[in-house]
Amino acid sequence: MFSQYRLHHVGMISPSLDEAERFMQTFELEEDYRGFVDPWHCWCIFTKAANGGTPIELVVATDGPLLRFNKGAGGVHHFAFEVPDIRAAMAWVESQEMRMIEPEPIKGAGDFWCNFLSPASTRGIQVELVQPF
């Protein structure tokens, strides 16, 4: 199923907003927008994609389990695929005997709905589904 959808973004956990800023400066990335996602207690900073590439999302947790990701050091967290209908994609996931993290899509940091496949269903690889508004 996912081979037919484009990669929406790659998510990386950053230990702090200062570290996220340093990462963007080091790699000459420009911020596109940011937002706070209440259910997951984190700031999400999306960078602009250069030359039609894939944006990077820098995730900075303020609370919860993401603070301990990779023993607090951060790193690559997830790959997000853009789907035209998130509910249909979630139904397909469940038809494959996999699970989603949330029972319903949630409002992401941008103009999109999102949800994650349970890493227990993907051998530890974090996969996010994203449906733009």
21-24's contacts with Cβ under 8 Å and 24+ in sequence apart are 23/58, 24/58
| Number of separate domains in the chain | 1
- The dihedral of CA 124, 68, 53, 32: what is its sign? positive
Helix-then-strand count for the chain, H and E: 2, 8
Distance CA 103, CA 89 (A): 13
Distance CA 83, CA 60 (A): 25
DSSP H or E run through 92: helix 86-95
Q: pLDDT tens digits for the chain (133 residues)?
A: 777 899 999 999 999 999 999 999 999 999 999 999 999 999 999 999 888 889 999 999 999 989 888 888 899 999 999 999 999 999 999 999 999 999 999 999 999 999 999 999 999 999 999 999 9
- CATH number, position 111: 3.10.180.10
Range of the domain at 23: 2-132
Give this prediction's pTM: 0.91
